[in-house]
């Protein structure tokens, strides 16, 4: 790290987790688990999804006219971003050029009912049917705002509206690793002195597309479990900190990513996670990314060997997609607040075996 | 913005204007308009039926490709376009990247959303007509049960980046940007950042997208942004014209090789052009419409100039986003007028979307390559379908004929759904 950087505000949502206290309570209760709902996808596959509770009472809950364009993960992102700005107490001038990098999970997960309606409209045929009639049915069944509801950068757009952040930006996509790439962009912006603070956001929707996309249909007994979520971090340089007077929640001490090129042609999966990470390891590790129970177990074994203490949200929350890395970081902050540890390695392994390590240091630790 | 200089070493394009730089340049010089009746799916009964398709059978480009990829690209047009673009450039890319350590090479792409083209999975869907509630899932399941991690449909959105990374050993990072119409513009900007920041020596940037399938096309037309069929098929899209009524759906894939100054020097490479900076802002206005005062667009143009360290009068041409939609075009002109002041009346500007359509996430990559081609050939492309401009005095919209003129510094801009404004600044070496 060329410059010291700190997390000075943090807001997040995952099923059952809305505050640092929730994290500590959930970690200390082995029985804690999100309420998963099972959706049958095909004759062979089903998905288990954990949704966020609606938060209509939040002062950051969007207004009615905008709601019809928003997915639930986008609403959660707006609430988190609003809370972040409130926590940080940023003024409009600070916010205007605030860089905003978002990692967005599957945005194409329309309600399954809508997809079925479109499919059914397409398939319905009679002897007198021609393409024209079929098309008319599809046209009628397609929601007018389909493009906007499925827009991959919807969270970024609405967060900019809500917060007034209008600076450098990008929405990174793909797997959970996209969050690490977005964080790298945040740090580059600060390290190059182009900005003294920047925002990292995450947003993960749930539905059938991600199950089909990231699922592992070749693994026997495969059960896809995924949870909805969002989160935002404000990251600042030391110089910015001395001006703002904000108290850091954690220091970003070190970042590393594996350099293994995912091999899309090979069915073999590397079963030796985190072997590229040799930097001084922290005492504690929060890990994520095991797609299925089997790969999670492999990760768990490695992490238990490599680190003195380890924890994962896999069992209670399933896959958190693009929200995973941020929830891991929030968990580290919660542990710092408890005085439980002074350094945490947040590690993630995505569906293609790309790995990242983010070392967080308790402030003053 | 300071750091290592970033050069464009090579580029190529699969576009409705042609496959490969030579074909695209020839189309630009001859004012070829690619709009036509859609051939990729039946259009009877549709209100709109015109798009700019990449024409011809592309399979010759990738006939030696892995059979699983060949199967997948039958269902995924944007993958097909990118695989075609890769094979068009393959030997050049292999030559350039062979001199770079894998951990110093990365890939940065802008891509569009994955849509299952019903018309392509028709037969499989119909196999499950006795159980419509699970037909969709059963069809996907059937199509993807090929014993491979390469799916036929619904590959992860970074699949194309992973494909390219595997082919060229790009280990440093594989990143995908999803900011709609500015996605590949931002992907190039983020690649530029990675090199300037010293994280990579060489990056493959670009993008791919295709919206000429029944669901995407219908969804965009329902949003009211697709041009009507009132005019001749190749004149439906009329950016900056008073009679414009929408954009032309398109498709494209582009690849651009960027490298830092040190790499260029050490490997004795010959850069073609230099990226000198970019501007990138958010409107924060509405998801459905740009800021009515063009504030985000203005700030992105201003940033591109200041980050590049150039004065407005140094810009020789701007390739504008110019979609042909009612909302976008006047605001772009307002932004140009505001940023360039009196010089806006001299500064040649145009949009090339009337020629090749709107490739959404791939638009920025396509238009960056077109800008590079124009710079290397000192060509300013006119707005072919422009008859009566919406702004006749404040800006210099090029119409009627292309102009031959030395181009040293150019800008290319894209302004996306959701209010994302990205402008790249390019300079002749």
**Contact at 8 Å (CB) between A52 and A16?**
no
| pLDDT at residue A264 is higher than 90 | no
Between β-strands B50-52 and A5-13, what pairing exists: parallel, antiparallel or unpaired?
A: unpaired
A365/B contact by beta carbon, under 8 A: no
For the question of residue B84 being annotated catalytic, the response is no
**Contact at 8 Å (CB) between A174 and B161?**
yes
What is the third-level CATH fold of A5-110+145-244?
Peroxisomal Thiolase; Chain A, domain 1 (3.40.47)
B186 to chain A nearest CA, in Å? 7
- pLDDT of A265-298, one tens digit each? 876 666 788 988 888 999 999 999 877 778 888 9
B217/A contact by beta carbon, under 8 A: no
In 3D, which of A314, A354, A190, A111 has the Cα closest to residue B176? A354
| Residue B140, domain member (yes or no) | no
The lowest-confidence range among A66-70, A110-114, A289-293, B350-354 is: A110-114
- Look at residue A265 in the predicted model and tell me its pLDDT: 83
Q: What is the 3-state secondary structure (H, E, C) of A86-136?
A: HHHCCCHHHHHCCCEEEEECCCCCCCHHHHHHHHHHHHCCCCCCCHHHHHH
- Look at residue B47 in the predicted model and tell me its pLDDT: 81
Phi, psi for A305 (deg, rounded to 5):
-75, -40
| Displacement of CA A342 from its chain's centroid (Å) | 24
Average confidence (pLDDT) over A179-187: 98
Distance CA A193, CA A3 (A): 9
Report CB contact under 8 Å: B162, A115.
Answer: no
Q: Half-sphere exposure of residue B134, counting CA atoms within 13 Å on the CB side? A: 14
User: Can you read off the two tokens belonging to residue A91?
Assistant: 């003024």
A208/B contact by beta carbon, under 8 A: yes
Q: Which residue positions in chain B have pLDDT lower than 50?
A: 1
B108/A contact by beta carbon, under 8 A: no
Of the listed B85, B307, B358, B382, which one is catalytic? B358
Residues of A in contact with B158 (CB under 8 A): 173-175, 178
| Residue B84, domain member (yes or no) | yes
Q: Tell me the residues of chain A between 221 and 280 that have a Cβ less than 8 Å away from chain B.
A: 257, 259-267
A212 → closest Cβ in B132, B140, B280: B140
- pLDDT of B301-339, one tens digit each? 999 999 999 999 999 999 999 999 999 999 999 999 999
- pLDDT of A195-241, one tens digit each? 999 999 999 988 777 778 776 555 556 678 899 999 999 999 999 99
B207 to chain A nearest CA, in Å? 13
Report CB contact under 8 Å: A131, B136.
Answer: no
Burial (Cβ within 10 Å: 0-12, 13-18, ≥19) of residue B335: buried
Which residue reads 């029944």 in tokens?
B214
Average confidence (pLDDT) over A54-58: 91
A140 to chain B nearest CA, in Å? 10
Report CB contact under 8 Å: B145, A217.
Answer: yes
In 3D, which of A231, A234, A264, A259 has the Cα closest to residue A249? A234
pLDDT grade, residue A32 (50/70/90)? Answer: very high
Q: A212 vs A230, A322, B211, CA distance in Å?
A: 21, 16, 21
Q: Tell me the residues of chain B between 47 and 76 that have a Cβ less than 8 Å away from chain A.
A: 66, 68
A169/B contact by beta carbon, under 8 A: yes
The lowest-confidence range among A40-49, A93-102, A225-234 is: A40-49
The residue segments making up the domain with residue B96 are 6-114+155-428
Distance CA A94, CA A244 (A): 11
Distance CA B194, CA B202 (A): 9
Report CB contact under 8 Å: A166, B296.
Answer: yes
In 3D, which of A183, A176, A168, A188 has the Cα closest to residue A233? A183
Report CB contact under 8 Å: B111, A156.
Answer: no
Number of A:B CB contacts under 8 A? 252
- Look at residue A113 in the predicted model and tell me its pLDDT: 63
For the question of residue B358 being annotated catalytic, the response is yes
- Look at residue B2 in the predicted model and tell me its pLDDT: 64
Q: B350 vs A174, B126, B225, B239, B269, CA distance in Å?
A: 34, 47, 20, 8, 32
- Look at residue A41 in the predicted model and tell me its pLDDT: 83
**Contact at 8 Å (CB) between A163 and A81?**
yes
Distance CA A7, CA A9 (A): 6
- Look at residue A127 in the predicted model and tell me its pLDDT: 61
In 3D, which of B14, B55, B16, B58 has the Cα closest to residue B353? B16
Between β-strands A169-173 and A100-104, what pairing exists: parallel, antiparallel or unpaired?
A: parallel
B184/A contact by beta carbon, under 8 A: no
Report CB contact under 8 Å: B179, A152.
Answer: yes
The three-class DSSP label of residue B28 is helix
Q: What is the mean pLDDT of chain A?
A: 89
Q: What is the 3-state secondary structure (H, E, C) of A225-247?
A: EEECEEEEEEEEEHHHHHHHCCC
**Contact at 8 Å (CB) between A108 and A115?**
no
B176/A contact by beta carbon, under 8 A: yes
pLDDT grade, residue A70 (50/70/90)? Answer: confident
Between β-strands A100-104 and A197-204, what pairing exists: parallel, antiparallel or unpaired?
A: parallel
Which residue reads 């800021």 in tokens?
B291
Burial (Cβ within 10 Å: 0-12, 13-18, ≥19) of residue B407: buried
pLDDT grade, residue A131 (50/70/90)? Answer: confident
Q: Tell me the residues of chain A between 119 and 138 that have a Cβ less than 8 Å away from chain B.
A: 119-120, 122-123, 130-133, 135-136, 138
| Residue B64, domain member (yes or no) | yes
| Residue B126, domain member (yes or no) | no
| Residue B136, domain member (yes or no) | no
- Look at residue A47 in the predicted model and tell me its pLDDT: 86
Residues of A in contact with B163 (CB under 8 A): 264
Distance CA A106, CA B298 (A): 31
Q: Half-sphere exposure of residue A290, counting CA atoms within 13 Å on the CB side? A: 28
Residues of B in contact with A167 (CB under 8 A): 281-282
Residues of A in contact with B166 (CB under 8 A): 261-265
The three-class DSSP label of residue A187 is helix
Distance CA B184, CA A173 (A): 13
| Residue B60, domain member (yes or no) | yes
In 3D, which of B121, B259, B248 has the Cα closest to residue B203? B259
User: Can you read off the two tokens belonging to residue B119?
Assistant: 């018309």
Distance CA B272, CA B257 (A): 10
Report CB contact under 8 Å: B147, A218.
Answer: yes
Nearest residue in chain B measured CA to CA from A268 = B149
Buried b (16+ CB within 10 A) or exposed e, A150-183: bbbbbbbbbbbbbbbbbbbbbbbbbbbbbbbbbb
Distance CA A294, CA A314 (A): 12
B179/A contact by beta carbon, under 8 A: yes
Alpha helices in chain A (DSSP H): 20-27, 64-67, 72-88, 92-96, 112-123, 131-141, 146-149, 154-163, 177-191, 208-214, 238-244, 293-306, 314-317, 324-338
Instruction: Quote ipTM for the complex.
Output: 0.96
The neighbour count for residue A32, using CB atoms within 10 Å, is 16
What CATH number is given to the structural domain containing B89?
Answer: 3.40.47.10
Report CB contact under 8 Å: B165, A351.
Answer: no
3-state percent breakdown (helix, strand, coil) of chain B, nearest 5 = 40, 20, 40
Residues of B in contact with A146 (CB under 8 A): 219, 222-223
| Residue B312, domain member (yes or no) | yes
The neighbour count for residue B132, using CB atoms within 10 Å, is 14
In 3D, which of A353, A361, A321, A322 has the Cα closest to residue A211? A321
Buried b (16+ CB within 10 A) or exposed e, B353-362: bbbbbbbbbb
Residues of A in contact with B177 (CB under 8 A): 170-173
**Which residue did the predictor score with more confidence, A96 or A47?**
A96
Report CB contact under 8 Å: A160, B284.
Answer: yes
A186/B contact by beta carbon, under 8 A: no
Q: Which helix (H) or strand (E) is B280 found in, with range?
A: strand B273-282
Q: Which residues are CB-contacts of B54 (< 8 A; sequence separation ≥ 6)?
A: B14, B15, B16, B19, B81, B251, B252
Distance CA B123, CA A346 (A): 46
**Contact at 8 Å (CB) between B327 and B290?**
yes
Report CB contact under 8 Å: A147, B223.
Answer: yes
- Look at residue A276 in the predicted model and tell me its pLDDT: 86
- pLDDT of B154-192, one tens digit each? 888 899 999 999 999 999 999 999 999 999 999 999 999
Q: What's the structural domain count of chain B? A: 1
A339 to chain B nearest CA, in Å? 35
Which residue reads 């249909």 in tokens?
A217
- Look at residue A107 in the predicted model and tell me its pLDDT: 57
Q: Please report the sign of the dihedral spanned by the C-alpha atoms of residue B107, residue A151, residue B351, residue B296.
A: negative
**Contact at 8 Å (CB) between A53 and A35?**
no
For the question of residue B181 being annotated catalytic, the response is yes
Domains of chain A: which residue ranges? 5-110+145-244, 112-141, 254-361
- Look at residue B160 in the predicted model and tell me its pLDDT: 96
Of the listed B84, B85, B181, B372, which one is catalytic? B181
């Amino acid at each position: 790290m060329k410059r010291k950087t700190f997390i000075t505000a943090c807001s997040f949502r995952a099923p059952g987790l809305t505050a640092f206290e929730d994290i500590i309570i959930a970690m200390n209760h082995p029985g804690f688990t999100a309420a998963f709902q099972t959706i049958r996808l095909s004759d062979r596959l089903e998905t288990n999804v954990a949704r966020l509770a609606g938060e209509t009472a939040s002062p950051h809950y969007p207004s009615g006219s905008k709601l019809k364009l928003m997915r639930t993960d986008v609403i959660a992102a707006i609430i988190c971003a609003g809370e972040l700005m409130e926590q940080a107490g940023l003024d409009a001038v600070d916010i205007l050029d605030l860089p905003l990098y978002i990692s967005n999970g599957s945005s194409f997960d329309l309600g399954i009912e809508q997809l079925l309606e479109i499919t059914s409209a397409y398939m319905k045929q009679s002897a007198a049917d021609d393409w024209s009639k079929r098309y008319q049915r599809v046209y009628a069944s397609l929601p007018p705002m389909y493009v906007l509801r499925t827009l991959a950068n919807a969270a970024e757009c609405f967060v900019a509206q809500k917060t007034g952040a209008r600076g450098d930006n990008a929405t990174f996509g793909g797997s959970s690793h996209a969050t690490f790439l977005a964080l790298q962009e945040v740090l580059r912006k600060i390290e190059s002195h182009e900005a003294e603070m920047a925002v990292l956001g995450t947003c993960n929707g749930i539905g059938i597309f991600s199950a089909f996309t990231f699922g592992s249909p070749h693994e026997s007994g495969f059960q896809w479990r995924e949870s909805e979520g969002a989160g935002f971090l404000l990251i600042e340089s030391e110089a910015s900190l001395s001006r703002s007077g904000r108290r850091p929640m954690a220091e970003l001490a070190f970042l590393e990513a594996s350099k293994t090129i995912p091999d899309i042609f090979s069915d073999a999966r590397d079963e030796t996670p985190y072997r590229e990470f040799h930097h001084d390891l922290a005492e504690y590790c929060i890990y994520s990314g095991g797609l299925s129970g089997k790969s999670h177990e492999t990760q768990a074994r490695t992490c238990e060997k490599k680190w003195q203490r380890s924890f994962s949200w896999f069992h209670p929350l399933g896959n958190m997609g693009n929200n995973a890395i941020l929830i891991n970081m929030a968990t580290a902050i919660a542990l710092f607040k408890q005085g439980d540890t002074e350094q945490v390695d947040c590690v993630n392994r995505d569906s293609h075996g790309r790995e990242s390590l983010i070392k967080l240091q308790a402030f003053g630790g | 913005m300071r750091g290592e200089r970033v050069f464009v070493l090579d580029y190529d394009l699969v576009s409705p204007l042609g496959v490969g730089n030579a074909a695209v340049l020839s189309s630009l010089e001859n004012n070829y308009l690619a709009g036509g009746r859609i051939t990729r799916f039946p259009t009877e009964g549709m209100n709109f039926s015109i798009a700019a398709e990449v024409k011809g059978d592309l399979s010759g480009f990738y006939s030696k490709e892995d059979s699983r990829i060949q199967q997948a690209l039958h269902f995924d047009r944007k993958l097909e376009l990118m695989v075609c673009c890769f094979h068009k450039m393959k030997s050049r890319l292999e030559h350039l990247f062979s001199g770079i350590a894998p951990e110093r090479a990365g890939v940065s792409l802008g891509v569009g959303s994955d849509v299952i083209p019903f018309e392509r999975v028709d037969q499989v869907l119909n196999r499950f007509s006795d159980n419509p509630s699970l037909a969709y899932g059963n069809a996907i399941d059937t199509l993807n049960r090929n014993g491979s991690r390469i799916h036929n449909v619904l590959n992860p959105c970074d699949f194309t980046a992973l494909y390219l990374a595997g082919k060229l050993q790009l280990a440093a990072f594989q990143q995908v940007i999803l900011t709609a119409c500015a996605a590949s513009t931002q992907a190039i900007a983020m690649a530029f950042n990675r090199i300037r920041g010293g994280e990579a020596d060489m990056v493959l940037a670009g993008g791919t997208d295709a919206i000429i399938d029944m669901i995407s096309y219908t969804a965009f037309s329902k949003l009211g942004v697709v041009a009507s069929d009132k005019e001749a098929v190749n004149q439906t899209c009329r950016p900056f014209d008073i009679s414009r009524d929408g954009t032309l759906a398109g498709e494209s894939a582009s690849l651009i090789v960027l490298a830092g100054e040190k790499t260029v020097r050490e490997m004795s490479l010959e850069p073609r052009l230099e990226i000198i900076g970019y501007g990138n802002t958010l409107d924060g206005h509405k998801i459905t419409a740009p800021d009515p005062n063009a504030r985000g667009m203005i700030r992105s143009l201003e940033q591109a100039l200041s980050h590049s360290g150039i004065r407005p009068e140094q810009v020789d041409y701007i390739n504008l986003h110019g979609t042909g939609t009612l909302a976008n075009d006047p605001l772009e002109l307002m932004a140009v007028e505001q940023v360039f002041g009196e010089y806006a009346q001299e500064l040649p500007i145009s949009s090339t979307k009337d020629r090749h359509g709107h490739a959404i996430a791939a638009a920025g990559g396509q238009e960056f390559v077109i800008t590079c081609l124009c710079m290397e050939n000192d060509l300013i492309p006119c707005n072919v379908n422009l008859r009566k401009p919406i702004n006749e005095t404040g800006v210099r919209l090029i119409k009627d004929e292309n102009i031959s003129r030395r181009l040293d510094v150019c800008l290319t801009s894209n302004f996306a759904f959701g209010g994302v404004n990205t402008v790249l600044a390019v300079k002749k070496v």
